[in-house]
Amino acid sequence: MDIVELPRGKVLYEMGEPIRHTYFPHDAVVSLVTVLRNGGSVEVAVFGREAALGFVSALVTRQSFGRYVTQIPGTASRVALELLNKAIVERPKMRHILFRFTEAFLAQTLQSVACNAVHSVEARFCRLILSTRDRTDKDELPLTHEALAEMLGVQRSTVSSVTSALQKSGLISQGRGTIRITDQSRLEETACECYHAICKSFEKLIPGAYRRS
């Protein structure tokens, strides 16, 4: 395995590109986004230290489901897909944990589909901020309004309205290209039920990999 730097905005794969490596993020957070015909995009999945990025996409077709782009910069371990597949065959414990991750990933994805359909932008924003904090153990997150708009699938002006309201309520504070959590407990109260549902799925299947504090 190689250690690689993942700077903010780095595109690992575009839609339909062949998957050649699986990434295991250390402190980076990577979004899987679907790019629409009108040029817009929306996040459909997110990967942090709990994830094997690219593993699920490569199970059959070995083609990317969408665009994988780094939202929070950091590092990751990277392994060639052929070597990982060999290890899965030879090591049952590795195969077992990767399949458990796959189940957790599918549960997260299905929960996110329901969330995007029925919950408010404010509730989804709180879920996004909390899940990013869980993956980085940092209260200050280097997320711009532009990145948040892409991750939520809304206009940038909508993000500005939500962040302003949450800042006035004392839940977050904003800096230049950053969001800082100032009241985590109230942020969890404002987030939709999907946040805790996703946490429980990961804790059940791969304990300690997702939320550590």
Percent share of the chain, pLDDT over 70: 99
pLDDT of the residue at 150: 85
pTM score, whole prediction: 0.89
Mean pLDDT along residues 129-135: 94
> In this predicted model, what pLDDT tens digit does every residue of 91-124 receive, in sequence order?
999 999 999 999 999 999 899 889 988 999 999 9
Q: Which carries the bigger pLDDT value, residue 212 or residue 137? A: 137
SS3 per residue for the chain = CEEEEECCCCEEECCCCECCEEEEECCCEEEEEEECCCCCEEEEEEECCCCCECCCCCCCCCECCCEEEEEECEEEEEEEHHHHHHHHHHCHHHHHHHHHHHHHHHHHHHHHHHHHHHCCHHHHHHHHHHHHHHHHCCCEECCCHHHHHHHHCCCHHHHHHHHHHHHHCCCEEEECCEEEECCHHHHHHHCCCHHHHHHHHHHHHCCCCCCCC
Mean pLDDT along residues 114-138: 93
Percent share of the chain, pLDDT over 90: 75
pLDDT of the residue at 213: 54
pLDDT of the residue at 31: 92
Q: How sure is the predictor about 212, in pLDDT bands with cuts at 50, 70 and 90?
A: low
